[in-house]
Amino acid sequence: MHFDTKAVHAGVKPDPSTGAIMTPIFQTSTYVQKSPGDHKGFEYSRTQNPTKYALQESIAALENGKHGLIFGSGLAAIDAVIKLLKPGDEVITGNDLYGGTYRIFTKVFQDFGIKFHFIDLDDVSNIENYINENTKLIWLETPTNPMMNIVDIKGAATIAKAHQVLLAVDNTFATPYLQTPLDLGADIVMHSVTKYLGGHSDVVMGALAINDDLIAEKLAFIQNSCGAVAGPFDSFLVLRGIKTLHLRMARHCENGKKVAAYLNNHPKVNKVYWPGFESHPNHNIAKEQMKDFGGMVSFTLLEDDQQASFRIMERFKLFALAESLGGVESMANHPSTMTHASVPREDRYKVGLLDSLIRLSVGIENVENLISDLEQALD
């Protein structure tokens, strides 16, 4: 089935008791049993909930996975994946991760005896240099947040398979509209559903998509045991959001391309980070593994001056100055003081995350209005 059709239909069936075309919000904590243990497959909503099930099926279908799991946030989904590991295990991951991912790795799980290697993944063969008998997981993000680096998923999967290491991919920026990592050999796909899948800046949620039954079973066990579940109302909102994912993403990509081109020609802009440029170091990999280049664009100013970037961001009228991304409305973020404030400055500068870097989540508004807004703010 084509992606557009899955976005509209997957997971959603008319409600058996009424025929309601939309999956009802089963806002219930528990389910009445006829006799102890004699029930309809639903006992308690931490474990089973029909609205949650519909969304899990939808996300699994979009990612071409067999299993979907939804969590209270993207970080809760990451937390569950790392709980597959034990003290002494090692993880190889990128050196420009989403700030919250970096924080949970270094400030939470490192204390539990898990070792993380933050390495340059522009060339995935670098992974080989860090693999040893304790390596259990490769964790990647592509495109990366906010530097828009591209990591070769297929290349990483080949290395992971050769060493029997799990490969997990944070697919938040691309969404399954642009790339499906399970098809490229990943074992686990993770989403901050908060962003493009929800798409309307009204929900915080995370998700995992998995093909392997055993890994899915372990993750479902961790989820139920640790309890970071998502609620039925939020599930409903995301089911609704996903129905237009393909339409929104097409427009995000179209607008993102025009905004990137505009910024690239602006005299006050130093560098624009967007994987669609032929000059992007991994443009060819992006072209191969992604259908298009998405709506995220980062740029630095000619003068690397935090105050100048603040002034620009204060002047935006359409781009909302906010953390988060992937909503229908355009947003601007200052990673070094907002989303990535937990990453030390010297580590940020190593990967090019300068104080003047502004990250844009280009929305689905009219692109001429967006460009005018950039123009007046930059001038």
Q: Which residues bind ligand PLP (CB under 6 A)?
A: 73-75, 98, 100-101, 141, 145, 170, 172-173, 192, 194-195, 204, 206
Q: Around Cβ 312, how many Cβ atoms within 10 Å?
A: 21
**CA-CA distance, 265 to 242, in Å (whole number)?**
34
Closest CA to 212 of 178, 158, 180, 166: 166
Q: Reduced to 3 states, what is the DSSP secondary structure of residue 50?
A: helix
Catalytic residue among 6, 83, 195, 257: 195
Round the CA-based radius of gyration of the chain to a whole number and report it.
Answer: 21
Closest CA to 174 of 151, 204, 203: 151
Q: In whole angstroms, how close is the CB of 362 to ligand PLP at the nearest point?
A: 15
**CA-CA distance, 3 to 210, in Å (whole number)?**
18
Q: Around Cβ 366, how many Cβ atoms within 10 Å?
A: 12
Two tokens, residue 243? 């129905």
Q: In whole angstroms, how close is the CB of 133 to ligand PLP at the nearest point?
A: 29
Q: In whole angstroms, how close is the CB of 204 to ligand PLP at the nearest point?
A: 5
State which residue, 56 or 262, has the beta carbon closest to ligand PLP.
56
Q: Which residue has the tokens 């200052």?
A: 334
State which residue, 100 or 232, has the beta carbon closest to ligand PLP.
100
Catalytic residue flag (residue 161) = no
State which residue, 65 or 143, has the beta carbon closest to ligand PLP.
143
Catalytic residue among 4, 31, 46, 212: 46
**CA-CA distance, 185 to 140, in Å (whole number)?**
13
State which residue, 65 or 74, has the beta carbon closest to ligand PLP.
74
Do residues 241 and 344 make contact, with C-beta atoms less than 8 angstroms apart?
A: no
Q: In whole angstroms, how close is the CB of 342 to ligand PLP at the nearest point?
A: 12
Catalytic residue flag (residue 271) = no
Backbone angles phi, psi at 226, to 5 degrees: -95, -25
Catalytic residue among 98, 196, 262, 273: 98
Closest CA to 133 of 87, 168, 88: 88
**CA-CA distance, 262 to 264, in Å (whole number)?**
5
Q: In whole angstroms, how close is the CB of 238 to ligand PLP at the nearest point?
A: 12
* CA distances, 169 to each of 178, 232, 341 (Å): 14, 26, 23
Residue with nearest beta carbon to ligand PLP: 74
**In 221-349, which ranges are E strands?**
269-273, 296-301, 320-321, 331-333
Catalytic residue flag (residue 195) = yes
End-to-end CA distance of the chain: 47
State which residue, 114 or 190, has the beta carbon closest to ligand PLP.
190
State which residue, 139 or 299, has the beta carbon closest to ligand PLP.
139
Q: In whole angstroms, how close is the CB of 149 to ligand PLP at the nearest point?
A: 12
Q: In whole angstroms, how close is the CB of 164 to ligand PLP at the nearest point?
A: 26
Catalytic residue flag (residue 304) = no
**In 1-128, which ranges are E strands?**
67-71, 90-94, 115-119
Catalytic residue among 170, 292, 355, 373: 170
State which residue, 163 or 240, has the beta carbon closest to ligand PLP.
240
Helix then strand count (H, E) for the chain reads: 13, 12
Catalytic residue positions, numbered = 46, 98, 170, 195
